[in-house]
Structure 1
Amino acid sequence: METLKVGNVTLTWLSGGVTNLDGGAMFGVVPKGLWSRKYPANEKNQIELPTDPILIRMDGKNLLVESGLGKGKLSEKQLRNFGVARESELEQSLEKVGIRLENIDYVLMTHLHFDHAGGLTKLVDGNYVSTFPNAKIITSQVEWDEMRNPNIRSKNTYWKENWEAIESQVIPFEEKWSLGAITMVHTGGHSDGHSILIIEDSGEISIHMADLMATHAHQNVLWVMAYDDYPMASITAKEKWLPYGLEKNAWFTFYHDAYYRAVKWSPNGKEIVESIKRER
């Protein structure tokens, strides 16, 4: 289990499942000849995309960034369509570091698409219940509103199975939410309510761009997904936050990257100068 220290804050990557999605969709209008050099595809043109939550331990509290794919909730057709190679092992991952589901104090949701929110609930005796019964679940107000009232496009990823059982635990925010060293900022882009996560402590910083920069190969500000609802908003947010992080020598952390958990780029962003690789 890979770990990163940002000042006095500890980040640990957990096992939340593995999907394989179409590489063309993941890189939008970018030609395959370009993106495949950085992130290779299989014979079906799919790329490997883990869905691995990050456990944050800070000031005696346990926080999760995202909740994983979930387990036992997808149909055979969904498992096939989403290229699911492994469902979530989140509970087992937490047990390895001595934490129970009941010990999670906060779940920070950058957005609520099924591959991020599937682990918020679980099936018990045929009913969906909260996976983290004592947690406060944080997401943007825009995202929470669309989760409950999706439009003709977003209804394919915002599912009642992932929100009805946790409705009383959700604490939505407007533009920003902070707790100690952590700040969530609403950016829009990938979804209208999408947010990023910034951790600053003891002169060190990490930025979790979530699905604005799903993998290290999405660093180019113009390389955005066909899945993005508002691609120009994604580009604008990347134009703002990537230079901010590069100037501060930030770690950029990932939920979906099959190769890296976190990277630092050179000041000009042209090369990776430090990294934490994902065990494969």
Structure 2
Amino acid sequence: MEKLELRNIKLEWLNGGVTHLDGGAMFGVVPKPLWTRKYAVNDHNQIELRTDPILIQAEGKNFLIESGIGNGKLNEKQKRNFGVLEESSLEAELESRGLTPEDIDYVLMTHMHFDHACGLTKEKDGELTSVFPNARIITSQVEWNEMQNPNIRSKSTYWKENWQGIQQQVEAFDKEWSYGPIKMVHTGGHSDGHSILIIEDEDVTVVHMADIMPTHAHQNPLWVMAYDDYPMDSIFAKEKWLEYGISRNAWFTFYHDTVYRAVQFDQDGKIKEALERKK
């Protein structure tokens, strides 16, 4: 898989599975003739969306951004509805790098929708247990509250199977959380508790906007998903953090993008450097 090596930090994408979701929902009110110029669509009007966690190695610690789609968590109907053609092989991916799930120190959850959180737990002897038993699982307090008490809309994506068994590992924050060069910032937007990540390594910046910019094709601040609970918050946050990142020549990284792992935008918003996903 692909790597982004900074001065003191290494980011590496791991195979967390894949989904295929409705392109119209993923691009909201944007007309199909516009978004299909930027992102491929299949005959079922679905777009391919990876669910690939990012392994970050920094300051002697192992961090994961998100947990993947999991393995064995979805029934056949769910796999069909969400277009899951490949489940996670995260444990094998870690093993090939000389690591185990027990070696993960932090799991950084930008939010806890099923396609980000299914990889947190697994069933063992009829009970849900943590996949990363030694990790601290970081998410915003707002997100953690809604994860456990979803509303009529969010209960379709916040599943008890993804939080039961990890409660003692969760550390929730209010506005910001940081460890060394890594910072999480609560933005809202896609979900009320959604957060982004900022990584500063000397003069190199990485911005991970998670699902307020799930792919490179969502770079326009106005191109937000129908899945967003608070679209105006997504627009404001995307506009703010795009400006922040571009002014610092930042790498923008992706969990879902099937084309690029990371890109740098010029002042006009055009891609000037890119780390492509190998297919």
TM-score by length of 1: 0.99
Q: Paired residue for 2:271? A: 272
The 3-state SS of whatever aligns with 2:166 is helix
Partner of 2:86 in structure 1?
86
The runs of 4+ residues in structure 1 deviating greater than 3 Å are none
Deviations 1:42-90 (A, max 9, x none): 0000000010000000011000000000110111110000000100011
Cα shift at 1:6 = 2.7
Kindly indicate whether the alpha-carbon contact (under 8 Å) linking 1:6 and 1:206 is maintained by their aligned counterparts in 2: no
CA contact (8 A) 1:262 1:276 kept: yes
Corresponding residue for 1:211?
211
Is residue 20 of structure 2 the alignment partner of residue 32 of structure 1? no
What SS does the aligned partner of 1:93 have?
helix
Q: Distance in 2 between matches of 1:167 and 1:95?
A: 26
Aligned to 1:34, the other structure's residue is in SS state helix
Following the alignment from structure 1 to structure 2, what is the Cα–Cα distance between the partners of residues 54 and 100? Answer: 15
Equivalent residues of 1:20, 1:47 under 8 A apart = yes
2:246 is paired with a residue whose SS is: helix
Give the deviation of 1:97 after TM superposition.
Answer: 1.1
- Report the alpha carbon displacement of residue 116 of structure 1 after superposing the two structures with TM: 0.2
CA distance in 2, matches of 1:136, 1:158: 20
Question: SS state of the match for residue 177, structure 2?
Answer: strand
Partner residue in 1 for 2:145:
145
**CA distance in structure 2 between the aligned counterparts of 1:266 and 1:254, rounded to whole angstroms:** 18
How far off its partner does 1:125 sit?
A: 2.4
Partner of 1:46: 46
Alignment coverage as a number of residue pairs: 279
Match of 2:135 in 1: 135
Amino acid in structure 1 at the alignment position of 2:272: V
- Could you tell me how far apart the structure 1 residues matched to 2:7 and 2:181 are? 9
Identity %: 68
Q: Matches of 2:220 and 2:237 in 1, distance apart?
A: 12
Deviations 1:117-171 (A, max 9, x none): 0000011122210000000000000000000000000000001100010000000
1:90 and 1:125 map into 2 onto residues whose CA distance is 21
Structure 2: distance between partners of 1:250 and 1:207? 7
Unpaired runs of 5+ residues, structure 2, are none
Verify: 1:62 aligned to 2:62, yes or no.
yes
Which residue does 2:247 correspond to in 1? 247
SS in 1 for 2:36: helix
Contact 1:249-1:267 at 8 Å conserved across structures: no
Distance 1:123 1:249 in 2: 43
Is this contact kept in 2: 1:6–1:205, CA < 8 A? no
Provide the residue aligned with 1:107 in structure 2.
Answer: 107
Partners of 1:261 and 1:96 lie apart in 2 by: 20
Amino acid at match of 1:116: H
1:187 maps to: 187
Mapped partners of 2:256, 2:218: distance in 1: 11
Partner secondary structure for residue 165 of structure 1 = coil
Q: Distance in 2 between matches of 1:123 and 1:216?
A: 35
Distance 1:46 1:127 in 2: 34
Q: Distance in 2 between matches of 1:51 and 1:216?
A: 15
Secondary structure at the counterpart of residue 37 of structure 2: helix
CA-CA distance at 1:5 after TM superposition: 1.8
Gaps of 5+ in 1: none
Q: Name the SS for the 1:30 alignment partner.
A: coil
TM-score by length of 2: 0.99
Deviation at 1:233, TM superposition (A): 0.3
Task: Please state how far the C-alpha of 1:17 moved relative to its aligned partner.
Answer: 0.5
- Give secondary structure in 2 for the equivalent of 1:38: coil
Q: What is the alpha-carbon root mean square deviation over aligned residues?
A: 0.6
